[in-house]
Amino acid sequence: MKLLVTGGCGFIGSNFVRLHLEKNPQDELVNLDKLTYAGRKENLADIEGNKNYTFVQGDICSRKDVAKAMQDCEAVINFAAETHVDRSIEESGAFLQTNFVGVKVLLDQAKEQNVKKFIQISTDEVYGQVVEGSSGESDRLDPRNPYSAAKAAGELLAMSYFTTYNLPVVVTRSSNNYGPFQFPEKVIPLFITNLIRGKKVPLYGEGKNIRDWLYVADNCEAIEAILQKGKAGEVYNVGGNEELQNIELTKKILAELGKGEEMIQRVTDRLGHDLRYSLDCGKIEKELGWKAKTAFEKGLKETVEWYKKNENWWKEMVKE
């Protein structure tokens, strides 16, 4: 198979590229990435010499870049996205451009080039906050910030191409990923890198908001299963079954780094901060046989160790 991965130099994308080439050494993989602040070629430095790997610097919003990168590809996995909610609240324009217009450019080319599978990577945030129970794939979408609204728009557009043009689209909605190579604006790497440098960690409000945590390697295994066995026109929830209040998460990170609660700095809560996300993952477990394997304590320990050992990777990105 020849495969196009967009945003392959980002956090989840780079982890997937590495996993896929390990599992499928005979496949060709093209990585199209714009190399924004969160996409770094260094994330895949260890596979640059692989004869079946090709890096193309380009923008998914550019028809020319996409047409060239997608040539002869049988499948497309779109990781490329603006992702940080706080940034979307400050300025939403780039989120709409990449997460909606960029998806349209990819879909048009996939249709034109007769791609056999198009996987749109989305997020549990499109469901909005879930006070009780868990979100199933057929539940109403209710995004409540510009980031999740743009992601919802992108996946709805993708599904419209399945219905209208019979383009074999599959959508994944995953919970909060964590692990190696995550840009240190997200909560877990931000807190880890702050504590390594002796800085306090900024906790929104009382820290009562709840998120489900999914180790990035488990998510990549799910995407691999969807690539191989996922049905066109379907949506699959991908969760870690590890729900934690943000205050609980913070205490676990502090404990892992041997720090006390005096290192917590309360900050003004995020605008429109969703209380809780929760996914029902019964569908992917039953139909594709996937289930998250990494317990949060194990995944967190491995993540902390990675950031300790790879200070050269993140030290220039963090604010002093």
Q: Which residues are designated catalytic?
A: 124-125, 147
- State the number of CA atoms in the 13 A half-sphere of 293 facing the CB: 8
Which tokens in the block code for residue 232?
Answer: 């066109």
* Distance in angstroms (rounded) separating the CA atoms of residues 194 and 318: 8
* Maximum alpha-carbon separation in the chain: 57
Ordered alpha helix ranges (H), the chain: 11-23, 63-69, 85-90, 93-96, 102-112, 146-165, 187-196, 216-229, 246-256, 282-288, 296-309, 311-314
* Distance in angstroms (rounded) separating the CA atoms of residues 255 and 253: 5
* Distance in angstroms (rounded) separating the CA atoms of residues 184 and 205: 20
